[in-house]
Structure 1
């Protein structure tokens, strides 16, 4: 019977891996049972084992959204055609359209299955009521951002094809919008397609329809996600457009999420496409390279969300700003924006963002600056003169004590919640607390 179960599981895993849709199955407690190859690709989780892990321990959702898988578990009914954006463990944003179904047997919810597809961006015109970002909306005064704005305005004064390079979340599309408006073009003539979220069929159609028509800007994001064949088609199309008179030509802006030379060497970018599009290149700096702008950016987002939420948050504490300066920001400015939004929604009646208001995934990376709890001594990890500074047994005991302390602190010293989070019984937790001499606060 055991062998039959193993074979059945292997058959199911092999079957869902060949499906060209993301498949994620969880049990009634939100722990992953199946997770196919396509979903790993979509969510950037190739090297991470998700089996038997809780969904909320792996992914971070926006504060005003809940996982569609967890919703299906709670509601006991399908949730269809829902677009959702969330963050993986690396802080990178994922966007997908989900169809989610609870698995119910005799009115008992056994789990849920989610079928996800990548968002197919269409070349839709930005409607007249939606405002694009101008250069006036850029926050920060660092040398790198000033240089980028200067180069962007120079590009706006030219008729050149334009390549924008920068990591995901740095604001390449916002820069393209600023250049578009700087040229005096109407907002409705900015047309965009993100190749990262587009099928080959849709990308091929988009490239085939590129043509001069009343001075529009065609924004094409993440060219490295195009197949080499489609990159070759795009290069030919752009060369053909370049032969038209300037009065007949549209503006073309392409983006890359990495250095173009590196992309060419790794085979992600066709050299011919690079030569055609890079008449002018502007690099958009990462947030970790312009950390002096973080305070101003945080204030900018607070002001924006104050308007949206009808609140009067005055700012972030100095301790929070210090943590922001220590953080590496893999999601760049977009991650900071989501961070401020989540923190403001967690504020309640307070008007200053503190450590306790920051998202869970961020707090797990840092100690609370206002806490008197002892932190692990960094020398515990050191080996000097060929000999460990403490035995493995001793270190594991210290690490366990520290981890339990931090878990208790995070759950406001609630034994039940802490035990559940650590995956142990109340009795087991209380035994370990006694063993390590840990006491409840107060």
Structure 2
């Protein structure tokens, strides 16, 4: 029977990941088959040799194995690029751990995953993106985004501001809730600018794997990693045009620093390249969260925020622009009647009233999906009514209506319907305070917690409404 050591070696040699172990002196003592294949080295070239003799592209500070040995702490999921003794460049994602015996570190073990396939996937994505006809896309954009629908004062002011800044060279930061139309405004900025003959490239930063982002943004140079070819990144593809970076705050902070340099200097350096390239690109960044909150939370670099927000546009949620609901409904009705080749007679006024009082947490996108959902089930020449809208929206509208009915009933029972608005609000507040006190057995602290108030705030209101506690 084989010795346990031979069995363990056999197991490790059959792993999909590379395994490399060094002793306390930095000499390699184990090197499995997968690591040998990954780095293009025979085990005899590695075993019993000092690590830096075999990998001259590394140093004591860049080698994850030597750093773990030195600082006696693990390093997980670290992207590493290095040269072997044969000159081969290798790119891996490594997890490295100290090896302890009797409480003392005696070596380090590294488990490496080859990311060549991921890089090849990124190359294919870039290649496919280039194959898309920019001219056809631009024609489509100009047809589809000629107008932004809306007649509310807020949207009119926003459109006027957009028109003023469309031809300036400054970068733009657009922020607003999900579904408010950030990409539409970005495309309008592009279409109304002098860059409208150039490409418009859009990329959601949150959809990119962290280890691929740099190559996708700035391009790659042949030989920069295993299987790499000369491939332009998004900045090269958007040259003389506009690059939209959606959810910019999801970029890793070290890449935000590189992006800042590109924005400031107008030059990029492809991954693995030695020379810089000009990048004449207008950057439009979008966020679905408050930029200052993202800065405070450490999700976005302060310097990048100030550089991108020279011009900033805030898109209000649909609940703050209720005057736009009717024109948007009409627009979506026309759009889906044409798409489904189906004629409807419009929308029931009572349903439209419900639409105009609903909060629309999903904003314009939710409204569009509601109309599209109704168009799927409605018969020819019918009027869209409550029964046709999607089930989830029905539930939301029903629960909202029930809550309003309960408040109205409460006011009716107290003969308060004819009172002024401020008086009615006071009585509704009084009612909920009394209800909370009753439900919490007159415990002021618990009642305050259930109402979302501090104890001091509730005490103030008790005095204000003369609700003295026994």
Per the normalisation by structure 2, the TM-score is 0.51
For the 8 Å contact 1:211–1:241, the answer to whether it is kept is no
> Within 5 Å, which residues of 2 pair with 1:46-61?
none
Q: Tell me how far 1:193 sits from its aligned partner.
A: 0.8
Quick one: which of 211, 221, 227 aligns to 1:201? 211
CA deviation map 1:155-174 (0-9, x unaligned)? 21111111111111111111
SS of the equivalent of 1:231 reads: helix
- Structure 2 unaligned spans of 5+: 1-120, 219-232, 269-277, 414-430, 441-470
Query: Which residue of 1 is the match for residue 248 of structure 2?
Result: 223
Is the counterpart of residue 163 in structure 1 residue 194 in structure 2? Answer: no
Query: Which residue of 2 is the match for residue 296 of structure 1?
Result: 327
Quick one: which of 388, 395, 405 aligns to 1:364? 395
Query: Which residue of 2 is the match for residue 192 of structure 1?
Result: 202
Query: Which residue of 2 is the match for residue 233 of structure 1?
Result: 258
Q: How has the CA–CA distance of structure 1 residues 327 and 228 changed in structure 2, closer, same or farther, with 3 Å as cutoff?
A: same
SS of the equivalent of 1:387 reads: helix
Query: Which residue of 2 is the match for residue 387 of structure 1?
Result: 438
Q: How has the CA–CA distance of structure 1 residues 242 and 163 changed in structure 2, closer, same or farther, with 3 Å as cutoff?
A: farther
Whole-Å separation in 2 of the counterparts to 1:187 and 1:325: 39
Quick one: which of 274, 284, 306 aligns to 2:315? 284
Q: Tell me how far 1:225 sits from its aligned partner.
A: 1.2
Q: How has the CA–CA distance of structure 1 residues 163 and 387 changed in structure 2, closer, same or farther, with 3 Å as cutoff?
A: closer
SS of the equivalent of 1:238 reads: helix
Is the counterpart of residue 321 in structure 1 residue 352 in structure 2? Answer: yes
Whole-Å separation in 2 of the counterparts to 1:331 and 1:159: 32
Task: Report how many aligned residue pairs link the two structures.
Answer: 266
- Structure 1 unaligned spans of 5+: 1-118, 390-442
Q: How has the CA–CA distance of structure 1 residues 122 and 318 changed in structure 2, closer, same or farther, with 3 Å as cutoff?
A: farther
For the 8 Å contact 1:212–1:249, the answer to whether it is kept is no
CA deviation map 1:250-287 (0-9, x unaligned)? 21111111221121112221101112212211112211
SS of the equivalent of 1:315 reads: coil
Is the counterpart of residue 355 in structure 1 residue 355 in structure 2? Answer: no
Whole-Å separation in 1 of the counterparts to 2:395 and 2:164: 43
Whole-Å separation in 2 of the counterparts to 1:270 and 1:369: 40
SS of the equivalent of 1:261 reads: helix
Q: Tell me how far 1:214 sits from its aligned partner.
A: 4.5
Quick one: which of 346, 350, 371 aligns to 1:340? 371
Q: How has the CA–CA distance of structure 1 residues 141 and 242 changed in structure 2, closer, same or farther, with 3 Å as cutoff?
A: farther
For the 8 Å contact 2:319–2:359, the answer to whether it is kept is yes
Structure of higher CA gyration radius: 2
Query: Which residue of 2 is the match for residue 178 of structure 1?
Result: 188
Q: For the aligned residues, what is the CA RMSD?
A: 3.4
> Within 5 Å, which residues of 2 pair with 1:11-26?
none
Query: Which residue of 2 is the match for residue 272 of structure 1?
Result: 303
Is the counterpart of residue 145 in structure 1 residue 155 in structure 2? Answer: yes
For the 8 Å contact 2:179–2:362, the answer to whether it is kept is yes
Whole-Å separation in 2 of the counterparts to 1:340 and 1:152: 28
For the 8 Å contact 2:347–2:383, the answer to whether it is kept is yes
